[in-house]
Structure 1
Amino acid sequence: MPKTVQIRNLDDEVYAGLVRRAADYGVSVPELLRTEAARLVARPSIEAWLQRTRQRTSGLDRAEVLEALDEQRGPWPDARH
């Protein structure tokens, strides 16, 4: 069942920004906020993301990453010129 959320004491500048952003997307302020709320809860929390990221293994070690970056960048320019 849908729920209603009310935000009190919203600054005028913030509300004006919401009105502008909603107009840019061609939607109402409530529709913009519904969409943004859905996006917010679809993303993991920062803590959950960090935990998941720390568990990953890239299969590359630091030396391999630095070597690949050096290959991509090319030789260092001569600093004397």
Structure 2
Amino acid sequence: MGKTVQIRDIDDDVYAALARRAAEGGVTVPELLRREAARLAARPTIEEWLSRTRRRPSPITSAEIVEALDEARGPWPDADR
């Protein structure tokens, strides 16, 4: 069975924005919040995301990035001095 969560002290303007969004989506505020909570829970934490991305081999080296930036920026204005 699902759990109940209660949120207290939501500012009126925040609730009004949630109510507008819910109405635009054709759902109730609790349903909108339920969907958003599920979406938030499905996202990895920053630590999980960083851990996952650190394991991937980089398709490009730092030197290649610097070289591409230098090429895109062009010569330094005072390079002739």
TM-score by length of 2: 0.73
1:64, 1:19 → 2: CA distance? 49
1:8, 1:60 → 2: CA distance? 48
Q: Are residues 1:19 and 2:19 paired?
A: yes
What RMSD in Å do the two structures reach over aligned CA positions?
A: 2.5
Q: Number of aligned residue pairs: give it.
A: 78
- Offset at residue 52 of structure 1 (A): 1.3
Structure-2 residue corresponding to 1:3: 3
2:69, 2:29 → 1: CA distance? 45
Structure-1 residue corresponding to 2:43: 43
2:32, 2:59 → 1: CA distance? 41
1:16, 1:59 → 2: CA distance? 46
2:56, 2:67 → 1: CA distance? 21
Q: Percent identity?
A: 66
Gaps of 5+ in 1: none
TM-score by length of 1: 0.73
- Offset at residue 65 of structure 1 (A): 4.9
Residues 14-50 of structure 1 show CA distances to partners (whole Å, capped at 9, x for unaligned) of 1001001101111100000010000001000111111
Residues 41-77 of structure 1 show CA distances to partners (whole Å, capped at 9, x for unaligned) of 100011111121122112332344566789xx7xx6x
Specify the code of the residue in structure 2 equivalent to 1:26: G
